[in-house]
């Protein structure tokens, strides 16, 4: 049977008489097993050379490509109290639609005629500015008139001084002539006196000559007096010139001082006008902030503040809104050791939560239910979870992403790397080596010379 013992009995048994024993003896199970193992090892050997795409698996979630397309919260710029709601959660709003109305809670803005009163103050200050401006113009005209009058008076005094100088010259000539006449008359008198003593001239002639001397001497004294008077007139004209200059300079300085005082008051009034204009614009803008409006087209997702009469702080959150139009993207987080393996426009396979998929990580072309993506941006600063954030955009050459996909959905991502044989990949996995580092080939755009 089993031929265990040395005493064989196979010769004493006719196996042909027993069908089961005959079937067992004719069976070639050992050869079949050897062949089966050979085929299996041959298949595994061939599989070792089948291409396998190295990949990095990372989790992530669905977001939007642009920051202004992500869910955002509408805040209240001013503090107030909720008076009326115009929307409810789930409503679609367009840009500029009113969401709610709030009322004022600060006592400095309670006056319903606040804008009107501020406008009246502004108008009054504007009129004050105009008055100061007119005063400045009047003082400038006065200064101009004083300058012109001073110029004319100065010219008049200069002419008078010149006349006095010319009169001094004229009187000086007359004085010199009178001196000469006096000398001549005196000499003639002396000669006449000698002739009279000699008896050649009569007493009448001598007395006439003496009278002439007296006349010429009187004329000389008169001419000298007149010359001195002319010189005094020159001095008086010079004094008048200085007096005119000082007098009008004082008047001009006083007018300019009043002008600068008016200018200073006008500038102060203009500063007040500017402040009032700023205050008026602020009040006007604040009155327009009582109505909270939608900043974009979208859906009201959640009312953070609720009820009527509830107060809001400055910058307080009111409602959250989701933009109606957005470009989907995926943000995933990779380990720092895998960051050098990533490059822009690198291909990625994405499995979205809720979409069943059959995934072969090493054979992305045979995976079912996954979608293509490209690396759009890579953060240069590590996130709070100890990983680097990578933003993935849809691959334009692959199937479009599902229309029912929503922001915030979870994803499982596979970053496709280098194609290697399966045997090499198993050897790398067993030894714990990282995927191969490589740079994708870039097409050269330089023209050949």
DSSP 362: T
Do 413 and 350 fall into the same domain? yes
Q: Which domain holds residue 256?
A: 114-288
Do 246 and 169 fall into the same domain? yes
Sheet of 80-85, strand order = 291-293, 98-103, 80-85, 311-312
pTM metric for this prediction: 0.55
Residues 6 or more apart whose CB falls under 8 angstroms from that of 287 comprise 115
Q: Look at the alpha carbons of 304, 307, 313, 318 in this order and tell me if their dihedral is positive or negative.
A: positive
184: tokens are 């001549």
Do 56 and 181 fall into the same domain? no
Name the CA radius of gyration of the chain, rounded: 60
Do 208 and 337 fall into the same domain? no
- Could you list the pLDDT tens digit for every one of the 449 residues in the chain? 455 666 666 666 665 666 666 666 565 656 777 888 888 888 888 877 778 677 788 889 999 988 888 888 999 888 899 999 999 888 999 999 999 999 888 888 888 888 888 889 999 999 999 999 999 999 899 889 988 888 888 888 888 888 888 888 888 888 888 888 888 888 888 888 888 788 777 778 778 888 888 888 888 888 888 888 888 988 888 888 888 888 888 888 988 999 899 999 999 999 999 999 999 998 888 888 889 999 899 999 888 887 788 888 888 889 999 888 888 999 999 988 888 788 888 888 888 887 776 555 555 555 556 888 999 999 988 888 899 999 999 998 888 888 888 888 899 888 877 777 877 777 777 877 767 655 555 555 445 44
Do residues 56 and 417 touch, judged by C-beta distance below 8 A?
yes
Do residues 332 and 411 touch, judged by C-beta distance below 8 A?
yes
pLDDT digits (tens, 9 = 90+) for 247-261: 888 888 988 999 899
d(CA 301, CA 307): 17
Do 257 and 243 fall into the same domain? yes
pLDDT digits (tens, 9 = 90+) for 218-240: 888 888 888 888 889 888 888 88
Do the domain assignments include residue 441?
no
Do the domain assignments include residue 342?
yes
Residue of 167, 149, 137, 152 lying closest to 235 (CA atoms): 167
Do 296 and 336 fall into the same domain? no
Do the domain assignments include residue 440?
no
Residue of 330, 320, 318, 334 lying closest to 392 (CA atoms): 330
**CA–CA distance from 299 to each of 15, 22, 80, 162, 292 (Å)?**
88, 83, 24, 97, 15
pLDDT of residue 437: 58
Do residues 248 and 150 touch, judged by C-beta distance below 8 A?
yes
CATH assignment at residue 96 = 2.40.50.100
Domain count, the chain: 4
């Amino acid at each position: 049977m089993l031929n265990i013992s040395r005493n064989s009995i196979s010769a004493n048994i006719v196996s042909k008489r027993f069908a089961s024993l005959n079937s067992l003896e004719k069976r070639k199970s050992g050869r079949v097993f050897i062949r089966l193992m050979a085929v299996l090892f041959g298949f595994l050997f061939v599989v070792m050379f089948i291409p396998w795409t190295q990949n990095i698996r990372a989790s992530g979630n669905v977001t939007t490509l642009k920051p202004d397309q992500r869910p955002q919260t509408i805040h209240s710029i001013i503090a107030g109290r909720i008076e009326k709601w115009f929307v409810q959660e789930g409503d679609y709003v367009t840009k500029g639609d009113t969401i709610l109305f709030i009322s004022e809670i600060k006592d400095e803005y309670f006056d319903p005629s606040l804008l009107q009163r501020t406008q009246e103050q502004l108008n009054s200050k504007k009129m004050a500015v105009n008055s100061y401006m007119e005063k400045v113009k009047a003082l400038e005209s006065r200064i101009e008139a004083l300058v012109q009058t001073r110029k004319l008076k100065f010219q008049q005094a200069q002419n008078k001084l010149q006349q006095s100088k010319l009169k001094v010259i004229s009187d000086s000539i007359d004085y010199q002539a009178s001196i000469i006449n006096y000398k001549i008359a005196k000499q003639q008198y002396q000669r006449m006196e000698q002739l009279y003593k000699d008896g050649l001239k009569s007493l009448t002639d001598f007395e006439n000559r003496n009278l002439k001397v007296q006349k010429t001497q009187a004329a000389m004294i008169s001419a000298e007096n007149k010359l001195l008077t002319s010189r005094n007139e020159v001095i008086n004209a010079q004094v008048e010139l200085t007096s005119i200059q000082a007098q009008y300079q004082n008047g001009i300085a006083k007018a300019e001082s009043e002008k600068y005082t008016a200018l200073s008051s006008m500038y102060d009034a203009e500063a007040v006008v500017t402040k009032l204009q700023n205050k008026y614009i602020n009040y006007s803008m604040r009155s327009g902030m009582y109505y909270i409006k939608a900043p974009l087209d979208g859906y009201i997702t959640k009312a953070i503040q609720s009820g009527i009469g509830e107060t809001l702080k400055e910058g307080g959150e009111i409602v959250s809104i989701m933009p109606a139009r957005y470009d989907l993207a995926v943000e995933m987080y990779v380990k720092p050791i895998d960051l050098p393996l990533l490059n822009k426009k690198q291909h990625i396979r994405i499995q979205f939560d809720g979409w069943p998929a059959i995934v072969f990580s090493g054979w992305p072309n045979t995976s079912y239910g996954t979608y293509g993506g490209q690396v759009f941006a890579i953060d240069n600063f590590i996130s709070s979870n100890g990983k680097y954030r990578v933003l993935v955009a849809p691959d334009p050459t692959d199937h479009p992403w599902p229309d029912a996909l929503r922001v915030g959905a979870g994803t499982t991502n596979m970053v496709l790397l280098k194609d290697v044989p399966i045997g090499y990949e198993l050897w790398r996995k067993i030894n714990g080596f990282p995927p191969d580092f490589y740079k994708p080939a870039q097409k050269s755009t330089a023209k050949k010379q």
